[in-house]
Amino acid sequence: MSAPLLSVSELTVRFPARGGRTVHAVESVSLTIAQGGTLGLVGESGSGKSTTARAIAGLQAPTAGEVRVDGEPFGPRSAPALRRRVQMVFQDPYSSLDPRRPVGWSVEEPLMLHGVGTAAVRRARALAALDACGLDPRLSLRYPHELSGGQRQRVAIARALVVEPELVVLDEPTSALDVSVRAQVIELLGDLRRRFSIAYLFVSHDLAVVRRVCEQVAVMYLGRIVEHGPREQLFKAPQHPYTRALLASVPTLGRELAPPPLSGDPASPLAPPPGCAFHPRCPHRHEVADERCSLEVPFLREHGTSRVACHLQATPLTPR
């Protein structure tokens, strides 16, 4: 079997903090994305989604573990030809567009950086990318501040696409947009993926959007993946207590789910609780023997078509 397009193993990212402390932003994250696949990454604020996304896009060096693209080690120091294959789109398009340049230039720039084609070829490719993103080529002469938020995000997507990446990492790509524009950009992302067979890592707070866009979904809690599985399985029959609580907190998604919404704040990544990081908030921790939840980190185990990191799932309630 050929290697998956993206393979992340035991990815760990820690940041130094004041007083000699450490932020445990990402801990032992392992996942894969197939060619043309779509993985959604969800979880509360501060759970490590953006840090994971940045490490996968080669913008953040891991503290430990590794990212591979098509089997090759991938990171900030990888060769440009490999880096080209993974592009990133941010929540705020201003972060990737130069305010002093017409947007057409910003779309051409990655081609210049990668030494692709002649000026005429680059220009033609930039215009084609803008067109694929539903923008009139005449807009290429405008400056970012002259465009609407939706148009700016389309330009940022064109800039990512122009180098023909195989994986695009999108970090909350629609969160800053008005609701009406959001739906159009989501539709555009779906079209582009089908048209160019691009794989997506899609980070979002919006579970309804993830459900529309992604075939696979991974749920993060305090730096770790707690559940990862096919969309239908995860939304219809979530297994980790945190996933259930997260879905139940969205009225339109969680109607049929019984557990109470999440109480208490997530713990700090400066001091993750021992054992399962979710245990202080978990309604089921007393159902597992020997205080295991507060002592032992649960690892992801296969559970049907999903992977789940929960001692409750590992210990059947009724002994067989």
Ligand X SMILES: Nc1ncnc2c1ncn2[C@@H]1O[C@H](COP(=O)(O)OP(=O)(O)OP(=O)(O)O)[C@@H](O)[C@H]1O
- Where does this chain bind ligand X (CB under 6 A)? 15, 23, 25, 43, 45-51, 205, 269
CB of 91 to Mg ion, least distance (A): 8
CB of 65 to ligand X, least distance (A): 15
Q: Do strands 64-69 and 72-73 pair parallel, antiparallel, or not at all (unpaired)? A: antiparallel
Task: Please name the helix (run of DSSP H) or strand (run of DSSP E) that holds residue 128, with its range, or none.
Answer: helix 119-132
CB of 19 to ligand X, least distance (A): 13
- Find tokens 């692709």 and name the residue: 116
Q: Pick from ligand X, Mg ion, none: which does 25 bind, CB < 5 to 8 A by kind?
A: ligand X
Q: Which stretch binds Mg ion (CB under 5 A): 7-15, 47-55, 92-100, 278-286?
A: 47-55
Q: Pick from Mg ion, ligand X, none: which does 299 bind, CB < 5 to 8 A by kind?
A: none
Question: How long a stretch of residues is the chain?
Answer: 320
CB of 126 to Mg ion, least distance (A): 29
- Which one, 26 or 127, has the nearer CB to ligand X? 26
Burial of 133 (0-12, 13-18, 19+ CB in 10 A): buried
- Which one, 50 or 313, has the nearer CB to Mg ion? 50
- Rounded Cα–Cα distance for residues 246 and 261 (Å): 7
CB of 175 to ligand X, least distance (A): 9
Q: Quick one: which of 7, 50, 96, 313 contacts Mg ion (CB under 5 A)? A: 50
- Which one, 50 or 140, has the nearer CB to Mg ion? 50
Specify which residues 217 forms β-bridges with: 40, 229
- Rounded Cα–Cα distance for residues 52 and 202 (Å): 11
With b meaning 16 or more CB within 10 Å and e meaning fewer, what string describes 218-248?
bbbbbbbbbbbbebebbbeebbbbbbbbbbb
